[in-house]
Amino acid sequence: MNKFNEEVSHWNEYNYVVVNDDLNECYNTILSIIISEKKGLSQKQNLSEIKRKINELIE
């Protein structure tokens, strides 16, 4: 948990944040990011949803 708390406190420094609530959804999200990045495209992420989920996890 210490490692989690350390890493989650820096979430906004990462290019992408993927929450692993559903394995298939997580896999598809990561695959989509990889495909986009290979094409030189960045994906937009819902930062408010990420903040909400992180707050939920650390409470």
Pair 33, 43: CB distance under 8 Å: yes
Is the pTM above the cut of 0.75? no
- Could you tell me which of 3, 19, 4, 6 has the C-alpha nearest to residue 51? 19
Decide if 54 contacts 11 (C-beta within 8 A).
yes
Look at residue 33 and give its three-state secondary structure: helix
Look up residue 15 and give its two tokens: 């290019």
Cα Rg, the chain, nearest whole Å: 12
Per-residue pLDDT, averaged over 10-14, amounts to 85
Q: Over 90: is that where the pLDDT of 50 sits? A: no
pLDDT tens digit string along 21-41?
Answer: 899 999 999 999 999 999 999
